[in-house]
Structure 1
Amino acid sequence: MEILQKGLALVFLFIIPATFGATNTITTSQMIRDGETMVSSDGVFELGFFKTGKLTNQYVGLWYRNIKVRRVVWVANREAPLTGAGGVLKVIEPGLLVLLNDTNGAAVWSSKSSRSVQNPIAQLLDSGNLVVRDANDERPENFLWQSFDHPTDTSIPGMKIGMNYVTGIETYLTSWKSNDDPALGDFSTHVDPTGYPQVLLKNGTEIWSRVGPWNGFGFSGGPNETGEATYKIHLVMNEKEVYVFQEIIDKSVTIALVDESGYQQRWTWVDGAQNWVKFTYLPIDSCDQYKLCGAYGKCSTNTPFCRCLDRFVPKDQEGWARSDRSNGCVRRNNLSCQGDIFLKYPGIKLPDSRNSRYIEILALEDCKAECLKDCSCMACTQLDRSKGTGCLLWLGDLIDMKDQPENGDDIYIRMSSSEAENVAGSEGKKKYVTVAVSLTSVLVIILIGTGLFLYIRKRLSYQNLRMKGQHFGSHEQNSELPLFDLSTILEATDRFSINNKLGEGGFGPVYKGMLEGGQEIAVKRLSKDSMQGLDEFKNEIIFIAKLQHRNLVRLIGGCINGEEKMLIYEYMPNKSLDMILFDQTKSMLLDWKKRFSVINGIARGLLYLHQDSQLRVIHRDLKPSNVLLDSDMNPKISDFGMARSFRENETEAKTRRVVGTYGYMSPEYAIDGMFSTKSDVFSFGVLVIEIVSGMRNRGFSHDYDNLNLIGHAWTLYKEGRSQELVDPCLAEPFYISEMLRIIHVGLLCVQKRPEDRPSMFTVVFMLSNEVVLPDAKQPGFFTEREVTIAQSSTSTNTANSANEITITMIEAR
Structure 2
Amino acid sequence: MATIINSATTIHRSWEPFISSLILFSHMFILINPTTSLDTITPTTPINDGQTIISPNSNFELGFFSPNPINSPNRYLGIWYKKISPGTLVWVANRDRPIPNNATLKINSDGNVVVVANKKQSIFWASKNSSKSVNTDQNLIAQLLDSGNFVLRFSNNDDPDEYLWQSFDYPTDTLLPGMKIGWDLKTGLNRALCSWRAFDDPSMGNHSYVVDIHGVPQVGIWKAGQFSYRAGSWNGLRFTGSPQLNENPVFDYTFVYNPNEAYYYTTWAKNNSVVTRFVLNNLGIARRLTWNDRNKDWVVYSSSPRDQCDSFGLCGAHGICSTDSSPMCRCLEGFVPKSVSDWNAMDWSNGCVRRSKMGCGEGEGFRLYPSVKLPDTRSSWVSLTMEMKECEGMCLRDCSCSAYASANVRDGTGCLLWFGDLIDMRRLVDNGQGLYIKMPASELVRYSHSKKRLILIVVGVLVLSAMVFLCLVLYICKKRRQKKKEEKIGETPRSGRTYAIKEDSNEELELPLFTFDTISNATDNFSEANKLGEGGFGPVFKKT
- Asked if TM exceeds 0.5, the reply is yes
1:413 corresponding residue in structure 2: 437
Give the TM-score of the pair, scaled to structure 1.
Answer: 0.49
* Alignment-mate amino acid for residue 408 of structure 1: G
2:198 corresponding residue in structure 1: 178
Tell whether 2:302 aligns with 1:284: no
- Report how many aligned residue pairs link the two structures: 420
Note the C-alpha offset of 1:136.
3.6
Aligned residue among 416, 420, 424 for 1:396:
420
2:125 corresponding residue in structure 1: 109
2:87 corresponding residue in structure 1: 70
The answer on whether the counterparts of 1:314 and 1:329 sit within 8 Å (CA) in structure 2 is yes
Pair 212,126 (structure 1): closer, same or farther in 2 beyond 3 Å: same
Q: Structure 1 unaligned segments of length 5 or more: list them.
A: 1-17, 443-813
Give the TM-score of the pair, scaled to structure 2.
Answer: 0.73
CA RMSD of aligned residues (A): 2.4
Q: How does 1:131-210 map to 2 (within 5 A)?
A: 131-210=151-230
1:321 corresponding residue in structure 2: 344
Pair 273,182 (structure 1): closer, same or farther in 2 beyond 3 Å: same
Pair 433,390 (structure 1): closer, same or farther in 2 beyond 3 Å: closer
2:143 corresponding residue in structure 1: 123
The answer on whether the counterparts of 1:19 and 1:32 sit within 8 Å (CA) in structure 2 is no
Pair 321,80 (structure 1): closer, same or farther in 2 beyond 3 Å: same
2:261 corresponding residue in structure 1: 241
The answer on whether the counterparts of 1:266 and 1:278 sit within 8 Å (CA) in structure 2 is yes
Identical aligned residues as a percent: 41
Tell whether 2:271 aligns with 1:250: yes
The answer on whether the counterparts of 2:243 and 2:430 sit within 8 Å (CA) in structure 1 is no
Note the C-alpha offset of 1:306.
1.1
Tell whether 2:353 aligns with 1:348: no
Aligned residue among 269, 274, 279 for 2:296:
274
Query: For 1:78, what is the secondary structure of its paired residue?
Result: coil
1:533 corresponding residue in structure 2: none
Relative contact order, higher structure (CA 8 A, sep 6+): 2
CA deviations 1:644-692 (Å, max 9, x no partner) are xxxxxxxxxxxxxxxxxxxxxxxxxxxxxxxxxxxxxxxxxxxxxxxxx
CA deviations 1:122-151 (Å, max 9, x no partner) are 122332221112334434343322111111
Q: 1: distance between equivalents of 2:172 and 2:455?
A: 58
Aligned residue among 348, 356, 376 for 1:333:
356
Q: 1: distance between equivalents of 2:80 and 2:48?
A: 17
Tell whether 2:402 aligns with 1:374: no
Pair 313,432 (structure 1): closer, same or farther in 2 beyond 3 Å: closer
Query: For 2:62, what is the secondary structure of its paired residue?
Result: strand
The answer on whether the counterparts of 1:86 and 1:101 sit within 8 Å (CA) in structure 2 is yes
Larger radius of gyration: 2
* Alignment-mate amino acid for residue 116 of structure 1: V
Q: 2: distance between equivalents of 1:291 and 1:153?
A: 25
Query: For 1:287, what is the secondary structure of its paired residue?
Result: helix
Tell whether 2:46 aligns with 1:31: yes
Q: Structure 2 unaligned segments of length 5 or more: list them.
A: 1-32, 462-544
Q: 2: distance between equivalents of 1:95 and 1:373?
A: 57
Query: For 2:265, what is the secondary structure of its paired residue?
Result: strand
* Alignment-mate amino acid for residue 376 of structure 1: S
Q: 2: distance between equivalents of 1:237 and 1:420?
A: 36
The answer on whether the counterparts of 2:80 and 2:86 sit within 8 Å (CA) in structure 1 is no
* Alignment-mate amino acid for residue 96 of structure 2: E
Tell whether 2:125 aligns with 1:100: no
Aligned residue among 68, 86, 93 for 2:102:
86
- Structure ranking higher in strand proportion: 2
2:487 corresponding residue in structure 1: none
CA deviations 1:592-642 (Å, max 9, x no partner) are xxxxxxxxxxxxxxxxxxxxxxxxxxxxxxxxxxxxxxxxxxxxxxxxxxx
2:330 corresponding residue in structure 1: 307
1:460 corresponding residue in structure 2: none
Tell whether 2:42 aligns with 1:42: no
* Alignment-mate amino acid for residue 349 of structure 2: S
Q: 1: distance between equivalents of 2:459 and 2:182?
A: 53
Query: For 1:307, what is the secondary structure of its paired residue?
Result: strand
CA deviations 1:490-528 (Å, max 9, x no partner) are xxxxxxxxxxxxxxxxxxxxxxxxxxxxxxxxxxxxxxx
The answer on whether the counterparts of 2:335 and 2:354 sit within 8 Å (CA) in structure 1 is yes
Query: For 1:219, what is the secondary structure of its paired residue?
Result: coil
* Alignment-mate amino acid for residue 27 of structure 1: T
CA deviations 1:12-37 (Å, max 9, x no partner) are xxxxxx97232222110001223322
1:230 corresponding residue in structure 2: 250
Q: 2: distance between equivalents of 1:394 and 1:438?
A: 35
Aligned residue among 318, 340, 348 for 1:296:
318
Q: 2: distance between equivalents of 1:172 and 1:315?
A: 36
Q: 1: distance between equivalents of 2:412 and 2:54?
A: 45
Q: 1: distance between equivalents of 2:289 and 2:124?
A: 32
CA deviations 1:291-345 (Å, max 9, x no partner) are 1111110112132021101222112223222322222112222212223211101
* Alignment-mate amino acid for residue 35 of structure 1: G
